[in-house]
Structure 1
Amino acid sequence: MEMEQYDTLTDDEMIAMANDVLTRYLPEHQGTATLICRSENATFKVRTEREQFALRIHRPDYHDAINIQSELAWLAALEQQGFVVPMPVADKNGIQVQPIEVSDQDRRFAVLFRWIEGSMPTTDIEPEQFEPLGEIMARLHLHSIHWPRPAWFKRLQWDHPSMVGEHGHWGHWKKVPGLSPADIETVQRAVDSIALHVQHYGKESQTYGLIHADLRLTNLLFHHGMTRAIDFDDCGEGWFMHDIAAAISFYEHHENAEEWMSSVLRGYQKVRPLSQRDLDILPVMVMQRRIQLLAWVGSHQQTEMAQSLGEHWVAETVRLCQDYLRIHAKALEAVG
């Protein structure tokens, strides 16, 4: 079943909700909530007299309480292994995941996290600065492979249908405004080709597992020589190579994209060497990710991020599909 997508509440309504939720916490955790951004959730900075926190309010129909508790369980396990990650703060009653009853049809959840210090890199950084992104990805993947999860653990699946299928978690790419019939045919041919490649690649434990699923520059912080990952809201079961593909999310068409990806791979393979089979599937995963983002743009047109991409972004996506098809033409023969 297709999920509802973008949250329809206004920013003022979300801010009021955030300030109300904060009253559930101890006085030292209460402060003024300032809206930072909205996407699958609304994120706020909370300033107190002594420190800062991040408050996240989920939109409805995306994660239930077990899903969120599962994310927090992974964060706790990562912290135990020395990762600096956002850790939740419990309320006055020791509850980490706060239920919010907006209406009979609108039940959502909130989590208060300790603030993680650091500067967020942008695409203006030097290409070699993408290496730390690859390194932390590899460390996360190694942890994922070896971590024994709780029996109740449950997160979203990020497989081919859930990313680019008709009932994808972020909507369907065909609903994006501006696609002509010819464009739709081109993207669909790319989707069909990708399906063949990922089916052949498979889901063995060394290729498919718990991933961050959105580890791009905006979810990375540099601090005193350390690299820190934040925003694990989309973490779920997926291909490790998809995580690598997501490193250049939204900028797959950029003139420096290939150089950025080479830098990510250098960093990654310092920690976890990849097989030629892994490297061969990466361009397929990059194209799959771009089409997944196409679906996201269509279902999240109200967001600042979607609006900032510009009017040519959709056309660039179609062009990338055309380039992909020229290179992967053999896979289409099997589709017929």
Structure 2
Amino acid sequence: MFSELTLQQELARIERIAHLALASYGPVYQGQLQLLCHSENATCAVTTPRGQRYVLRVHRPDYHARSAIASELAWLAALQQADIEVPVAIAGADGELIQAAGDAQSGTRFVVLFHWIDGHEPDPQQALGPAFQRLGTINARLHRQARDWQRPAGFQRITWNHPSMLGEHGHWGRWQAAPYLDAAATALVDETVSLIGQRMAGYGEGPERFGLIHADLRLANLLEHDGRTRAIDFDDCGFGWYLHDLAAALSFHEHHADVPMWLDNWLLGYERVARLERDDLLILPTLIMQRRLQLLAWFGSHRGTPTAEGLGREWVGSTLQLCQRYLRGKPVGAVIAD
């Protein structure tokens, strides 16, 4: 959790580390740095004197081990070989894709440089049906590749299941630490979490339902350009329910009036590539509610960051309304009638 002062200090550290990191790359990659996003990690645009652009990712400390980052990059390379457009990492002057940069003043962090991908984030206020169709198709292709891919020895990525999302030691913190929760609200969320856990246990983690996923393929991690949708930011990729990727696509917007239309389009795009069973469709409202409460936990552990502070009391209030609807059997995103 950042105060205004500590956030400024963190951004200053990131800027220094990013400048030091560029020294690890060849002359053609040197250029001006501009912070693009600061959330889990920090991403900076690198613009060379010739106008070429790259993206430098500065990893947050104590989240992923070097072996886990290497596993992410191995999957990206395999996806690229499968003709799926994803970020492509660039090796440093020493031939390594992962660099460690920093000093005694700022600390040392892992960094990765990627080729630039043109595009912009889809606007949730615009007609997103076609974008969600394309996203559904992209997800189906990711899942098909992940099911067929022989992962290299030592492959290591995080696991996203119910305890790791909403348990006492969740990867993104405890949902109970979120702001604006009084005793009644806490009891409501607790009841919802319990029911979600029961239903996800019934759905199970069989290999046809649970495997390697992007895990954070929300609007902010999509780039639209010339009618094409590309997925970026695989930093949270790991092992989870395949259809968690659909729930993640709705992140922060689960209460939006257009969610049913977005769902229909995502499913239409997905089923052009892969088939879903009835049980998969029935579990979608639970996955969507689980993701929303995972974001509630994230809100509590990321106070002070621009994204978290932009949510506010109203977003928490809409989360509680979604919990009430879910418990009444009228969840947003239901695609099969009771």
Shorter-chain TM range is over 0.9
Structure 1 position 76 matched with structure 2 position 85 = no
Assess, with a 3 A threshold, how the Cα gap between structure 1 residues 277 and 18 changes in structure 2: closer, same or farther. same
**Contact 2:102–2:108 (8 Å) recurs in 1:** yes
Query: Alpha-carbon deviation of 1:32?
Result: 1.1
**Contact 2:17–2:106 (8 Å) recurs in 1:** no
Report the counterpart of residue 333 of structure 1 in structure 2: none
Q: Distance in 2 between matches of 1:328 and 1:203?
A: 25
Report the counterpart of residue 68 of structure 2 in structure 1: 67
The letter for the 2-side match of 1:97 is: I
Q: Distance in 1 between matches of 2:306 and 2:78?
A: 33
**Contact 1:186–1:318 (8 Å) recurs in 2:** yes
Report the counterpart of residue 96 of structure 1 in structure 2: 97
**Contact 1:213–1:243 (8 Å) recurs in 2:** yes
Q: Distance in 1 between matches of 2:227 and 2:273?
A: 17
Assess, with a 3 A threshold, how the Cα gap between structure 1 residues 103 and 315 changes in structure 2: closer, same or farther. farther
Q: Distance in 1 between matches of 2:106 and 2:15?
A: 20
**Contact 2:135–2:269 (8 Å) recurs in 1:** yes
The letter for the 1-side match of 2:202 is: H
**Contact 2:20–2:102 (8 Å) recurs in 1:** no
Count of residues paired in the alignment: 326
The letter for the 2-side match of 1:113 is: F
Query: Alpha-carbon deviation of 1:106?
Result: 5.3
Q: Distance in 1 between matches of 2:73 and 2:258?
A: 35
User: Which TM-score applies when normalising by structure 2?
Assistant: 0.92
Residue 163 of structure 1, aligned match among 151, 162, 165:
165
Report the counterpart of residue 206 of structure 2 in structure 1: 204
Report the counterpart of residue 137 of structure 2 in structure 1: 135
Q: Secondary structure at the match of 2:328?
A: helix
Unpaired runs of 5+ residues, structure 1, are 330-336
The letter for the 2-side match of 1:242 is: H
State how 1:289-308 maps to structure 2 within 5 Å.
Answer: 289-308=291-310
The letter for the 2-side match of 1:200 is: G
| Greater shift in the superposed pair: 154-163 or 257-266 | 257-266
Query: Alpha-carbon deviation of 1:314?
Result: 0.7
Assess, with a 3 A threshold, how the Cα gap between structure 1 residues 105 and 225 changes in structure 2: closer, same or farther. closer
The letter for the 1-side match of 2:94 is: N
**Contact 2:17–2:102 (8 Å) recurs in 1:** no
Q: Distance in 2 between matches of 1:62 and 1:21?
A: 19
Report the counterpart of residue 117 of structure 2 in structure 1: 116
Residues 85-124 of structure 1 deviation map (CA, whole Å, 9 limit, x = unaligned): 1111111111111123555995521101111112321102
* Aligned Cα root-mean-square deviation (Å): 2.0
Report the counterpart of residue 36 of structure 1 in structure 2: 36
Report the counterpart of residue 12 of structure 1 in structure 2: 12
Q: Distance in 2 between matches of 1:105 and 1:64?
A: 19
